[in-house]
Amino acid sequence: MSSGVPIRAVYCGLVAAGLLLAQTGSREGARKLMTNELEAVRLPDSAFWEAGSQDHGLDPLVKKYKTSHFGILVDGPREVMLSSRETLPLFTYYMGSYRATAKRDFPRVASIVVMAPERNEIHVAPLLEKRGESLLTGETEPEANLPEGYQMIFQMVDVRRRTELPWRAGRVISQVLLWDLQSNRLETKLVAGSGAFSDPEKEKFLAAERAKQDPPAPFPAVSTAAADAPAVPQEIGIVLAAPRVVVLEKQGRLELSGAWRLPVLPEEMVKPAHAEYNKANGLVQAGGGAYAACVGVHLVVQSSEEETADVYTLRLPVAQVEMVDGQPVASGRFTVNLLQLPDFPVGEATLFLSAYSKEWASEPATIGVVDRRQQ
């Protein structure tokens, strides 16, 4: 999960732990290829735009790691000149036994998640686009017909087009999700063309302007975390927790809890001077004082019954922000009744939830929903 992501050493432990848990969640994770090994075979950035780069054997990744990695890998350029390229290619590969890949139809249900950490923006889209009049069915070959062996599927996608990614300078971190399977994360630096002059004063001005923005209102409504919500992590990161199986009755609840410790962006800081805005937008605590910050955490929800992931951005208010190494950091715990989120994909399904904020991501939480609301 930490491929290419410049996470300071102190945080690595937690992120790696998250990764390990994610992997043991699926049996195939045992043969996880560590992301740093990918570096050894990585292609020159230009190779990802070459004609036929999808074709057999052209990517050494495929040949080198064939059958040595079960799960999803992504690879792509580490740096893209905005002025000279129009696409952000992402080479994706998914390897598993025939039986496992039949259960997870990669091109149909995989999603790309792209984080722009500097703005805490998330872009999520289905991995593949289907054209024409869709006949799309998720029909898979009966298990009895499947051969013994492994299937590897690889695909070159344009992240820019798939996610409608704004074509502007900054870092982006791409990852592919296939329910509870997560790929490594690939960081790409989108840079203004070599000829373009980067004006530090202008950058400063724009940053200052963003810093003046008010954070959005808390979402969903402020509530106290459940008693069994996980403890706030010691290091920077996000942890999710949910019951593995939930029976949904009438008037039921579908709860997801979490705990987090995250850096705070200037635009996430509540501006005490903007009292009117704060009051109107629920940024004032019960006691009367304004919250210190309202931190955005994106919840990516995949359902076994749907092909597209949903994204909900939680806005979590905190009473205080502390300075760590000169950077504002906040922490908190939360419990959300997922049924109250608009258009939440509810029904008889298994839900896979992951949280993202800036450079950080949680391990996936899985909830099996037994829907008894109609009975």
Partner 1 sequence: MPDIVKEDIFEESTYKVTATIKSGLFSSKYKGKLDLLYKKGDTVLHTDPDVDVNKGVVQKDYPVPKVPDTEETYVLKIVANYGKNKEKTRVLAEATVWPKTLKLTVKDTENKPLKEVPFEVSFGSGQPTRGDTDDKGIGNVDLKKAAYELKIKAPWEVISNKNDAKKREHEIVVRRNMEAKIVKPDLTKPCWSPATEGGDTAAGVRQYVNAPKTGENGCDGDGSVIEFEVACKKLTDGLKNDKIYIKVEFSKLAERSTPVPALLAPAQGIASANNGKTLTGFVQLAADGGTAKFKLQLGYAGGETFKVSVGYSKDDPSDDTQTFVTWRKITYQLRFPKLMKVRMTEKTRKDGTKYFDLPDAVFNVVKTRLAAVFVEYENIKSHEFDPPQGAPCLVTRGYLEDSADTTPVYVIDEDLVWLGGAPSFDAVADKRETTITFCDAALDESVKTVNPTVSLKAVETNDVIIDTAVSYKYFVKRPFQADMVNLQVAGYEWVADMAAVANTDKNVKPTVKVEFVREDREDWDEYEITEPNAGTGSVVINFTGTDGLTTGDKAKLKTFYEACFDKATEIRQKNNVLTFKVSGPVADGHEAQHRDITNAFNAIRTASAKTILYHPGLDENGQPRKGPMSDVTIEHVTSRKLKFKLPKRASDTEALKPGDFVGEASAEKCPVNVTYSMVGAYTYNGHAGGGSQVLVLRNVIPEAIAATVCHELGHAMGMSVMPTASGDTIPMPPGVSADLAKHVDNGGWYYRNKSAAPYSNGFRALHQGPHCSNGMPSGKKTHQKFESWSPTGASPACIMWGSGGGEDSRTQYCENCTKILKARDLRNVRKTWAGSAEG
Residue ranges binding partner 1 (CB under 8 A): 54-57, 62-63, 66-67, 98, 101-102, 105-108, 123-126, 128-141, 145-155, 161-164, 305-306, 308, 310-311, 342-343
Torsion angle in degrees (nearest 10) through CA of 228, 231, 232, 235: -150
First and final CA of the chain: distance in angstroms?
42
Q: The tokens of 121 are what?
A: 């923006």
Q: How far is the CB of 29 from partner 1 (least distance, A)?
A: 19
Q: How far is the CB of 278 from partner 1 (least distance, A)?
A: 25
Does the bond joining 166 to the residue before it have cis omega, within 30 degrees of 0?
Answer: no
Q: How far is the CB of 122 from partner 1 (least distance, A)?
A: 9
Q: Are 313 and 334 in contact (CB under 8 A)?
A: no
Please, which residue, 163 or 257, has the CB nearer to partner 1?
A: 163
Q: How far is the CB of 158 from partner 1 (least distance, A)?
A: 10
Please, which residue, 11 or 312, has the CB nearer to partner 1?
A: 312
Beta strand pairing status for 186-191 and 79-81? parallel
Q: How far is the CB of 107 from partner 1 (least distance, A)?
A: 5
Please, which residue, 305 or 371, has the CB nearer to partner 1?
A: 305
Buried b (16+ CB within 10 A) or exposed e, 266-301: bbbbbbeebeeebeebbbbeeeeebbbbbbbbbbbb
Please, which residue, 143 or 199, has the CB nearer to partner 1?
A: 143
Q: How far is the CB of 26 from partner 1 (least distance, A)?
A: 17
Please, which residue, 147 or 272, has the CB nearer to partner 1?
A: 147
Please, which residue, 310 or 363, has the CB nearer to partner 1?
A: 310
Please, which residue, 153 or 248, has the CB nearer to partner 1?
A: 153
**Phi and psi dihedrals of 27, rounded to 5?**
-60, -30
Nearest to 164 by CA among 62, 240, 88, 66: 88
CA gap 300, 22 in Å, rounded: 15
Nearest to 104 by CA among 24, 181, 21: 181
DSSP 284: B
The residue ranges of DSSP E strands in 184-249, in sequence order, are: 186-191, 237-241, 245-248
Please, which residue, 75 or 236, has the CB nearer to partner 1?
A: 75
Q: How far is the CB of 141 from partner 1 (least distance, A)?
A: 5
Q: Are 180 and 364 in contact (CB under 8 A)?
A: yes
- Count CB-CB contacts under 10 A for residue 164: 11
Q: How far is the CB of 240 from partner 1 (least distance, A)?
A: 20
